[in-house]
Amino acid sequence: MAKTAFLFAGQGAQYIGMGKELYEYFPICKQTFEEANESLHMDLTSLVFEGRKEDLDLTENTQPAVVTMSIAAFRALSQYNITPDVVAGLSLGEYSALTASEVFTLSQVVPLVRKRGRFMQEAVPEGIGKMCAVLGLSEDKIREACLEAKAFGIVEPANFNCPGQIVIGGERKAVDEAARLAKEKGAMKTLDLSVSAPFHTSMLKPAADKLKLELKPMILGRINTALISNVNASYITNSDEVKDLLYLQVMSSVLWEQSIRNMIDNGVRNFVEIGPGKTLSSFVKKIDRGLGIYNVEDLASLEATAKALKAVI
């Protein structure tokens, strides 16, 4: 039988008003936002529904906001008795996936990702690092370009999103040089990303070290749903592995394409993106157009997805 995966959105997809319909329609979703407010000692709900975009876009606000909205959407879909065979999330989304799998509780994870956001923001001062998407070039050639640009500073592959889209990150001059070399090697296009730091590179080690201290005393639940890690694109079999993987995840490449391919190899044919936006859906489409791809971020998409999945699973 075809399996179903739930994929959880990462940072960058947030918008003011995300999750509002679900909050108003499902008591469980309202409860989710209230639980997040309580655990953060702040009114996250007002910030997400009627705040200023520039405040929501601060990494330390974005991260708890996206996780809260994603878990609300996940709980709304659960009302239809639809459950995943496997979960995964892109970068920040991995924390939503871990919460859906019951490794974290919501009141544990929301303050944790707020701190993670702050640590990531503080790790590299504004203007020192950058990230750039390279389109239409093979992994080998991108690694080559990064190696050749090393003379200009740190530059590394940060995200393997889908065929023909790899993000590099590091120190500004080195990233610019690697992007120039990538074009020389045949890249169709390079695109600077508007992010505050070179996420998922070795420059984020100070953030990873601080996160490690936060994770150390936490008591984690057992894995309830199969889960794939960003760091190695493999299934996490034991929640004892989670802390080390989350430590590494901050400063390691996100192996997203490899994670999706692993799921496909394991019989997953339906992919449901949960949380704001449809970025992950577009990545999955580029990996394999023959899959069932759905999303849940508001009432219309929730009802359409629930209806479609009832017919195929």
Active site amino acids: 91, 200
Helix (H) or strand (E) holding 262: helix 256-265
Pairing verdict, β 155-162 and 235-236: unpaired
Encoded amino acid at 65, one letter: A
Enter the DSSP assignment of 7. Answer: E
At residue 277's C-alpha, the angle toward residues 257 and 54, to 5°, is 115
Distance CA 26, CA 73 (A): 10
Enter the DSSP assignment of 241. Answer: G
Question: Under 8 Å CB-to-CB from 145, ≥6 apart: which residues?
Answer: 134, 137, 168, 178, 179, 181, 182, 185
Give residue for tokens 């889960």: 227
* Longest Cα–Cα distance in the chain: 56
